[in-house]
Chains A and B, each alone.
Chain A
């Protein structure tokens, strides 16, 4: 008999964080950013321009609720309410549906701005590997976008594609990257044109006797190859950094940096909050501008 509780291997851990040493009550400016992505939503709160709290959770079917849930979770145990937020910027796929946002800004601009803070002003190329799209962004030393390229036509090369593979192979998504590196020899990549084709190709390879690790290696390699072609179109300039959920997948990142022959910068910040962090930084600037002109 089949069990009703099917394990969801694609499901990644949701979490929130706050700086317990920081007291926000005397703050002059509290700004926030909400990134409602196609797969995950993040809310970031800055107190006088410094990171105070954030949350990261899955996006539901309703963008306004996803935004509210992410913000409620970031506010949890802080004693802060929506009224204490001076300015909020919404970004991401659902940015126009953030009910408490003062303004919506594209995730491209926000990732560049967030990446600038996370990786420092030397970063010039940012690759955002999101849930259902992939963005190659060139920016200046202030985090202003100079050139960008987005591919959102297909899930191959995105976080959702990786989730599909984790489920197909019954391997928890957090372990996919490391396991894909445990192969003696790098297999040829699977189809990178479409995640549905890649999935059926992977099923055939499993039937041929390929190990799960080898199939994962072939998919991570295909994903890396696909985003390299995107990056080459905008041109990769040092320093290079990666944001988004896939930045946590060592299998893709190792292959990607090897193919680019370029190391990716490391950051103490969570790579998934780059968009929301950038939005919160925009919120801070916009509030300051508003106060000046008042």
Chain B
């Protein structure tokens, strides 16, 4: 399942997409410690699989929480994307 966490508002679309089908077999869970903002957590989803998700209280402010990893120029690779070994994480902005 592709789970899109985030929102769309007047200024644009801010979504972090997690492909949970890739998450299920991941042993590293690198996203949890790899994100400096602590946005990720491991949950048991509705189909009883252990997958990564964005914490409930972070979902409506990811534009701001992710800002420190997204400088306007010379943007380095995102730490969460780097830490995710199965390649399940993408950002929309």
Do the two chains belong together in a single complex? Answer: yes
Complex: A5 Cα to B50 Cα, angstroms: 53
Number of residues from A at the complex interface, CB < 8 A = 22
Known contacts: A109-B46, A144-B47, A149-B15. The answer to whether A229 contacts B8 by CB under 8 A is: yes
Complex: A161 Cα to B60 Cα, angstroms: 19
Q: Is A206 an interface residue (CB 8 A)?
A: no
A262-282 to B contact mask, C-beta < 8 Å, 1/0: 000000000000000000001
Give B residues with C-beta under 8 Å from A.
Answer: 1-4, 7-10, 13, 15, 46-47, 60
Find chain A residues with CB under 8 A from B47 CB: 109, 144
Known contacts: A109-B46, A109-B47. The answer to whether A148 contacts B7 by CB under 8 A is: no
Determine the residue in chain A with the shortest Cβ distance to B60. Answer: A153
Complex: A282 Cα to B2 Cα, angstroms: 21
Find chain B residues with CB under 8 A from A229 CB: 8
Smallest beta-carbon distance A91→chain B, Å: 9
B46 adjacent to A105 (CB under 8 Å): yes
Smallest beta-carbon distance A153→chain B, Å: 4
Smallest beta-carbon distance B65→chain A, Å: 14
Find chain B residues with CB under 8 A from A108 CB: 46
Determine the residue in chain B with the shortest Cβ distance to A153. Answer: B7
Given contacts A109-B47, A145-B1, A150-B4, 6 further A-B contacts (CB under 8 A): A147-B2, A147-B4, A153-B8, A154-B9, A229-B8, A282-B46
